[in-house]
Amino acid sequence: MRQQQQQEGPVPMEEDVKMETTAEDSRHLQHGFSPDYLKLYYGRLFPFTEMYRWLSYGNDGKHPGCDPSFIARREFSFTLEHDIYLRYLSFHDASEMEATIRAKCPHKIDIGAVYNVEPAKRTAYSGAGSDRVFSPVERELVFDIDMTDYDDIRNCCSGADICLKCWPLMTIAIKVVNTALRDDFGFEHILWVYSGRRGVHCWVCDARARRLTNEQRTSITDYFRLYKGNENTAKKVSLVAASLHPSLLRAYTDVCRPFFEDTILLNQSLLTPEGNYERVLDLVPDDAVKTNMRDRWQENRRSSAAKEDVNASRWRQLKQTLESKQKGQALRRCVEEIVFSYTYPRLDMEVSKHMNHLLKAPFCVHPKTGRVCVPIDPQKCETFDPTTVPTLSQLLNELNENEAKHSSINNGSKTRDLEKTSLGRAVHFFQTSFLDPLLQASKAEVAAAYQEKLHESASRPTLNW
């Protein structure tokens, strides 16, 4: 993408954006969005206040000990129309952030690290004679999980396409990673967000997580590295230890095995037809077992199980054979390897390892689908349906319909506008389940640091002349 600075324009007011829609507009917005409608979205619905409060982490200038430069040192990146790409943007306060976003109307907003200086001043720290280096000092621990990384096991979709048969793979990833982050690492303030198209993003926002070094981030990311190899590697999960690590045992027992047997096995027709079950048999390291299973399945391929799906029936046969007492440890572990191969989370490792990596902001609108990047409740993620996520055209229609019913009410409050649409529920969840507890902890930390600083200052010896 080419880098170019767009000339500043006036901030569009709500009354400047017409809400009338034509049939052609509706067809265009079915899978994308219009720049004019995006202006209306930023003008009326985007939760600027909540986003600013999140990214300031209690440094709002209203309490002693706040760092007034904190938010100004945060990098933002805009992708504008025609792939115009702007990096190293920053804002001094909420009003500047809102005015800039509304003026430039970015098709995508990415959030980067907090640096040691304002990103706009970075060039002063890279020239000859400079004794400081422009570098990140703080950044959320982030994870990116993309459905395309599961293409070797998906039989329903491929590439950017998703459906309700393959989406449970994202549900599994959320459940496994969220539990490990909380139980194994002790993190509390975790935000899961739908990417708007084919995956999910995770933001770990505890102060301890934000200050991890790149090496520490890499170690945490490697903790989740189970799936290895490339497209030419048939077997990508190998369990060599005598027993499963407690985290893997928990994931296998609580999430992966139940989802595999109850959902993935049938949704993806893993053991029908022949081409699919051959990929499963490729994971079995015993030729005799593979031949036995292949012969049995080819014999009854034309018969239908009266009370049991053929995929479930074949899996039961394979599992019983592999787990029989006559077989060795390697074959018994093969059951776990197969389950993990088809269910365990596949992270984009590079996204998580480095502090300066950018990640798309929540509540953006995806340009290909028109869907808003809404938060996901990890406690209810199995009920999340990406096909029902609010789209830009839907939200504008909801505004139109609501205001047509209540034409006598003319209130420009963004809170009121949000409540007129289905986006209001997503913002409310973001506020109550994530933002409020996070800010409570952040403000307590700011206050504690301030008191410690006062105590240190008071305990220093004074000189009496």
From the list 140, 146, 149, 348, the catalytic residue is: 146
CATH fold for the domain made of 14-223+349-450: DNA primase, PRIM domain (3.90.920)
pLDDT score of 65: 83
**Cα atoms in the 13 Å half-sphere on the side-chain side of 3:** 5
317 contact partners, CB below 8 Å, separation of at least 6: 293, 296
| pLDDT averages per 10-residue partition of the chain, 465 residues | 36 34 45 81 96 95 85 97 95 96 97 96 71 89 97 94 97 98 98 97 98 98 89 82 94 98 97 94 94 91 63 96 78 93 96 96 95 98 97 94 72 70 97 98 88 72 59
Q: What span, in angstroms and rounded, lies between the C-alpha atoms of 342 and 10?
A: 51
Question: Which tokens belong to 191?
Answer: 């935000």
Judge whether 75 counts as a catalytic residue: yes
Q: To which H or E segment does residue 19 belong?
A: none
Neighbours of 413 (CB within 10 A): 9
Judge whether 146 counts as a catalytic residue: yes
324-336 CB burial, b ≥16 within 10 A, e <16? eeeeeeebebbbb
Q: Do 344 and 237 touch, CB atoms closer than 8 A?
A: yes
pLDDT score of 126: 65
Judge whether 144 counts as a catalytic residue: yes
Q: What span, in angstroms and rounded, lies between the C-alpha atoms of 367 and 151?
A: 23
pLDDT score of 297: 94
Q: For residue 177, what is the DSSP state?
A: H
In order of 60, 72, 230, 402, 431, the CA distances from 52 in angstroms are 9, 11, 40, 28, 12
Neighbours of 391 (CB within 10 A): 22
From the list 118, 144, 149, 417, the catalytic residue is: 144
pLDDT score of 4: 39
From the list 75, 110, 118, 336, the catalytic residue is: 75
Of the candidates 166, 145, 152, the residue with the CA atom closest to the CA atom of residue 348: 145
Q: Does the N-terminal peptide bond of residue 273 adopt cis geometry, omega within 30 degrees of 0?
A: yes
Which amino acid appears at position 128 of this protein? A
**Cα atoms in the 13 Å half-sphere on the side-chain side of 68:** 3
Cut 0.85: pTM above it: yes
Is 56 strand, coil or helix? helix
Domain with CATH 3.90.920.10 in the chain: 14-223+349-450
Residue 156 phi/psi, 5-degree rounding, is -95, -40
Would strands 199-204 and 359-360 be described as parallel, antiparallel, or unpaired? unpaired
Q: Do 74 and 111 touch, CB atoms closer than 8 A?
A: yes
